[in-house]
Structure 1
Amino acid sequence: MDFGLLLHTISTITPDRPWGIDIPNYFWFTGSSAAAFIISSFAHVFGMKQYKPIAGFSLLLAFVLLAAAPFNLVDDLRQPGRIFNFFLYGWENFPTSPMKWGVLLLLSYPILILFEALILYRPYFVRAYHQSQKALARQVYRLASLGRMELSDAEEERDHRLGFILGAAGIPLALSVHGYTGYILGAVHAIPLWHTPLMPILFLASAMVSGTGLLLVVLPLFQKFFTDFKQVDREVMQKLMRLLAWFIVIDLAIRFFWLTFAMPFNGEEKYALERFFSHHFYDVVFIEYLLCLILPMAVGFSSRLSQKTPLVILMGVICAIGVWLFRWNTVIGGQGIGKSTPGLLEYHPHFWGQDSLLAIASNWGIFIALLMIVMAIFPWDKEMATHYEQNKGGQ
């Protein structure tokens, strides 16, 4: 065999890509869940009254997002049975294995959210227990009430105290659930786009943008079509839009530090990063930054524009999509920086099968189905209406 041909063949080998489209989708779901939980904690932990009407709804949204997220990991494994390997092997490497940290976090975090939701809605389940005539329904309501069937002031104070404790404990847990995903990427030396200690913080900042954006989309739909009062809370929407604008400011600041340190001051890695961002210049600058971050930030800080609910919903959609694209460009794009080949490697997801566009669509279908089921079980609409009635009474 000709030596020149052999050398050309070896230098142009494209290695298998370990992570496909499932992983950025998984990162997006876990990040948005963390953001929804933090927004819920604004009311339950920090006592911000303006967020109390939507705190319960946001808490349930956080639970559903995290429940749907692991399906991406199962699909990425190709063989679903491999999921048990996460629990059976590798514990001897726990101190230095972010993936093993994730196993415990993905188990403990949804359990904490579920118990906080049960405590928050316990009075409604107790009332439903006394009003129901069916034995099976009464048993379900008793179970959902955690066996505490009293509605005294003392029990209400106990609920408030337990909710505060779980909410306070859940904040670092929520940050860790998504932070560990950025930690996994940041620890990889071989990929210049990932290898930075800013990656966990960067993932958390962008997650607050996507989670708030998703809440701006989902909340008005449920308020308009699945409540008795059939009305969108425009004041809360405006507050969330302003909050989103500040999250974008934080996200942009961290991205600025990331890029300005990565490209000018790195060693040989900076040339690979310059090549990557030159290739993706229009995607990153015009779509990710100008359209999906700068434009929503301008709307959020505008007192007039942030009052227009349809525009606010549109900005929520744009922000959610923009952060998903950031996850895509980071995970898929980072793996596209060739280690033994000139230029950048390309990746095109399949339409059918595992790790495909259809798999992502199916995961979103699971999310929507779970969201409808959870919202049908928990009386979020009654809890929300109670807060609005209290606000009217206070006025």
Structure 2
Amino acid sequence: MIREILTVPQELAWLPWAVQYFFFIGIAATGALIAIFLRLFRKGLYPKAEMITLAIAATTGIVGPIALSADLHQPGRIVNFYLSFTPWSWMWIGAIIVPFFVVFLLLQFLLVLRENTTKNKTFKWLRFVHWFNYNETKLIPFCCIPLALFALGILLYTGKEVNVLQAQAMWFTPWLPWTLFFTALQTIPMLVKTWKNWANVQEQNTCLNRLQLFALVGVVVSLIGWATSSTPAGEAFRSLPDKGSVWFTIGLGVLVYIIALFVYTLYTFKADKNLGWFIHTILALFSLSLAWTIRWAILMQVQTLPKYNIFINPYHLSWGFDGALGIISTFGLWLTLLIVFWSLLNDRWFTFKGVQHG
């Protein structure tokens, strides 16, 4: 009887929907912080980069909660978060933070859009941002404050929601939230530069190069710190090569992404260089793959590791709604939103005040 209890396979509590949520909401939160950084600490010197960053953050900020609602399976479970007062639960805290974050993120996007456009050169569906007479430039810093707080809250709660679970040694480490943060942060500069390249936007943003280098160094330091720590989490990390070939594949992929992005960042560190739309797109996909692969490893593959039993818990990615179809659909939704936002900010309608866009 004891042997049977010890060897019962454990069901995976989190499905790929959770990976998609952590992926998109992480990019949205770090994108919001970078946009605020460009606004408050670069004094609005990079309006195009700020606008593009907010557009990327807004699209991922919309997709993330949709993936979360799919992960919860039923609307009733979402409502229950607001009907019960459980401040000791990181999931409850997240349920409170997410709606406010999305609202302030979209508000920030619209305010910056109003600031940088004129009514007659704004796409007709967006001309409502020019209604009423007020100074949006004075309002933006006041919107930055709550947006920054909610973005930091998103990053904190998503990290702690996993980090507090002591039953799985790999998760119970302070390096986990930092890894999630830095892997999300390094996507934004690469996505912005790729957008600029595709749209032929002329604006030097060397500060993005410094941010990308900072984020990549943070990724490496976090992973090395995790692997070399003397805690059970460190021991579990160092034992991953013995847990199956999938960990070797994940490690090799992460290493390739990091090296390629480091080479590009150092090459373009002092000045933006146009390497062509194809190279930029490949590097953007590398950057996104780095963030997504780390989250898949942490949220899905770690669940297959022994927790209460003595062998690997089996998991096979299904092709259904809770598997590959869910992953494809959320990426498809994000691509659709990117196309919509791209069209709304297209040169045909969108012109920065006093500066020809493109």
Give the TM-score taking structure 1 as reference length. 0.79
State the shift of 1:259 in Å. Answer: 2.0
Unaligned runs of 5+ in 2: none
Preserved contact between residue 58 and residue 109 of structure 2 (Cα < 8 Å): no
Mapping 1:79-228, distance limit 5 Å:
79-89=74-84, 91=85, 93-94=86-87, 96-122=88-114, 127-128=119-120, 141-142=127-128, 144-145=129-130, 147-149=131-133, 155=134, 158-221=135-198, 223=199
Identity of aligned residues (%): 20
Preserved contact between residue 40 and residue 51 of structure 1 (Cα < 8 Å): no
1:226 alignment partner in structure 2:
none
Query: Comparing both structures, which one devotes a greater share of its residues to helix?
Result: 1
Cα distance in 2 between the residues matched to 1:23 and 1:159: 36
1:152 alignment partner in structure 2:
none
Preserved contact between residue 56 and residue 380 of structure 1 (Cα < 8 Å): no
Preserved contact between residue 204 and residue 272 of structure 2 (Cα < 8 Å): no
Structure 1 SS opposite 2:9:
coil
Cα distance in 1 between the residues matched to 2:115 and 2:268: 38
Choose 1 or 2 for highest CA Rg.
Answer: 1
1:275 alignment partner in structure 2:
239
State the shift of 1:219 in Å. Answer: 4.2
What's the CA shift string for 1:172-221, capped at 9, x where partnerless? Answer: 32122132111101111111111123322221111101333333444433
How many residue pairs align between the two structures? Answer: 353
Structure 2 SS opposite 1:64:
helix
Determine if the alignment matches structure 1 residue 360 to structure 2 residue 315: no
Of residues 120-129 and 65-74 in structure 1, the stretch that sits farther from structure 2 once superposed is 120-129
Preserved contact between residue 64 and residue 367 of structure 1 (Cα < 8 Å): yes
2:221 alignment partner in structure 1:
253
2:12 alignment partner in structure 1:
17
Choose the corresponding residue for 1:295, options 260, 272, 283.
260
Cα distance in 2 between the residues matched to 1:362 and 1:303: 34
What's the CA shift string for 1:129-173, capped at 9, x where partnerless? Answer: 9x99xxxx79x844x33x423xxxxx5xx3212112212432232
What's the CA shift string for 1:56-112, capped at 9, x where partnerless? Answer: 1211221111111112122222334432222223x1x21x21111111211111111
Distance 1:33 1:356, change over 3 A: same
Cα distance in 2 between the residues matched to 1:286 and 1:380: 41
State the shift of 1:235 in Å. Answer: 4.0
What's the CA shift string for 1:289-327, capped at 9, x where partnerless? Answer: x21112211221124997223433322211110110000
Cα distance in 2 between the residues matched to 1:297 and 1:123: 35
Choose the corresponding residue for 1:371, options 338, 344, 351.
338
Give the TM-score taking structure 2 as reference length. 0.86
Cα distance in 1 between the residues matched to 2:90 and 2:354: 40
Amino acid at match of 2:184: A
1:321 alignment partner in structure 2:
289
Determine if the alignment matches structure 1 residue 31 to structure 2 residue 26: yes
Cα distance in 2 between the residues matched to 1:295 and 1:337: 30
Amino acid at match of 1:220: N
